[in-house]
Amino acid sequence: MLDRYLHPLVKPPLRVLAKGFRSLGISADQVTVYGFLIGLLAVPFIILNMYWLALALIVINRLSDGIDGELARLGTPTDAGGFLDITLDFFFYQAIVFAFALAEPVNTLWALILMMSFVGTGISFLAFAVMAEQHKIKSMHYPNKSLHYLDGLAEGTETIAVFIAFCIWPQYFPWIAGLFATVCFITAVSRLRYAYTTLRFYST
């Protein structure tokens, strides 16, 4: 929901950082992979209740996710890079929630519910992206992305904010996870409805 408003604000500083990486000969795919690996290091820290260290690693991961896209657009973006980026993003999201499930027994049920809601948002997002490519449907808000980005209440910005909240207030994980899972389920249903209606129009 907030991505379209935040992207224009963070794009200039990310572009500056991307130019720095490019001058060092670092590729977008390398930033994607190393950013993912750094983000995964947050998992053991979460399990050990070392939430501030985990938060720092999560922030680095999300920062690298913005840099790799800008770095790719400084050259020629590739489908392979776009695939790598979105796949590792979804794996990272699930891994962080999984870590909180292991951190405290009270978190387990709510973590599972949140992970299930992530499946709904992810499948509806990716399935429509495939169909949108076949029908040459362009995204109005994200025309430069490697695949069609479908809007929703729960997008990248909201997910980052929730992960930060998890680390700052871990004792409230069940409440935050339950609320965000509800938002994700609403997003999945709205995407399902929009995608079905849109594809029926293009199929007639």
Tell me the catalytic residues: 89
Contact assessment for residue 192 and residue 125, using Cβ atoms and an 8 Å cutoff: no
CA distance 119 to 149: 16
Residues 6+ apart with CB under 8 A from 157: 1, 2, 3, 6
Nearest to 148 by CA among 100, 70, 82: 82
Instruction: Compute the CA torsion angle 138, 142, 143, 144 (nearest 10 deg).
Output: -140
